[in-house]
Amino acid sequence: MVIPRLLTKSEYLETATGPRIEITGREDSVQPEGVIDIEAYLAAISSRDFQGLELLSGAPPTVAYRTGGASFDHVLYPTTRRNVFLVVIVQLSPDHVLGHYLLDLNKEYGLHSASNEEL
């Protein structure tokens, strides 16, 4: 049974330390033993965690990063608002989903106007 966990901002930031390396499209080469399937995790996330937004239907992850000194993968999924992503944090060794965080780049970087539009 999958039990999703919404991370606090400080918990999320603890997983974003060290260099961040984009691994999008190279997951098989950086994780030769295979990547974990996070579809069941995504399906189990409560709608409350999306704060009125939704994942874009059928959209693949926008980008995946390896962070935290190669301890975590951040997999970013687009939502129905521009510059807002659901980040699924995968802890490596052993692989498991640590949790998720709603990353609003509009708030983080003070973006306004057209960036807050719904997609």
Provide the residue ranges of all domains of the chain, joining segments of one domain with +: 9-111
- Given a cut of 70, whether residue 115 has pLDDT beyond it is no
- Given a cut of 60, whether residue 66 has pLDDT beyond it is yes
77, 110, 113 from 5: Cα distances, Å: 16, 27, 31
Backbone torsions φ then ψ of 49, nearest 5 degrees:
-70, -15
Q: Give me the helices (H) in the chain, please.
A: 9-14, 27-30, 39-44, 105-108
- Given a cut of 90, whether residue 1 has pLDDT beyond it is no
Structure confidence at residue 70 (pLDDT): 84
Query: pLDDT digit string (tens) for 29-56?
Result: 787 777 888 999 999 999 999 999 999 9
